[in-house]
Copies of this chain bind each other. A is one copy, B any other.
């Protein structure tokens, strides 16, 4: 069942369930829109972002197949955009005349899981910590070790990790120089040394000795 998202009438708006397609770069909903539907990613990748008063962008999450976004109470507090071409499964949050939410606990749990993942990333202190943790997460989510895709731009990654795109770029280049990963083009990499990457992320076996932290820093430092 595929219904164009341009339809506006309530019949479609409140259809219990529909599939929606969006092209890369499209906006799915805007920050401040009335929150009437929630989404589950069928294929492709979505990003949610919030625009701050000073003009800078915070990227609150990336959503892959199976992930849930748009579960909000009143207004969407963040925008959702398609990172790649996407297919979404969309359901109403509230039906007309029915004050009960129709989002299942399962959807909420998934949304919570995604939120926790974002919080976890921010627990890492340095740029190397955060980028390493991000790359590991990407590899785990894609399920493959070789040929992991990074479909988002460096700028997206930067706004997600609260760094600048320069720092992200430098750090990724350093990882490649130090043999932790191998880059194949801009948006494709392979992890060469998962243990080393975990140590740089601050999640490694880490003997708790001050020496090992110095070690991790050396690995992550340029040259």
- A→B interface (CB under 8 Å): 50, 52-56, 58, 60, 71, 73, 77, 101, 103-105, 108-109, 111-113, 115-116, 118-120, 122-125, 162, 202-206, 208, 213
Please report whether the interface of chain A is mostly helix, strand, loop or mixed according to DSSP: loop
Asked whether, in the complex, the Cβ of A122 is within 8 Å of the Cβ of B162, the reply is yes
Which chain B residue lies CB-closest to A56?
B125
Besides the known contacts A53-B204, A119-B122, 11 further A-B residue pairs in the complex with CB atoms under 8 A apart: A50-B120, A53-B202, A54-B213, A56-B202, A58-B120, A73-B113, A77-B116, A105-B105, A108-B108, A115-B115, A122-B162
Contacting residues, chain B, for A112 (C-beta < 8 A): 71, 108, 111-112, 115
* A206 in complex: contacting residue of B54, B71, B204, B208, CB < 8 Å: B54
Asked whether, in the complex, the Cβ of A119 is within 8 Å of the Cβ of B60, the reply is yes
Contacting residues, chain B, for A119 (C-beta < 8 A): 60, 115, 118-119, 122
- What is the bound-complex CA distance between A55 and B58, given in angstroms? 28
Asked whether, in the complex, the Cβ of B58 is within 8 Å of the Cβ of A123, the reply is yes
Which chain B residue lies CB-closest to A108?
B108
- What is the bound-complex CA distance between A103 and B71, given in angstroms? 17
Contacting residues, chain B, for A162 (C-beta < 8 A): 122-123, 125
Contacting residues, chain B, for A113 (C-beta < 8 A): 73
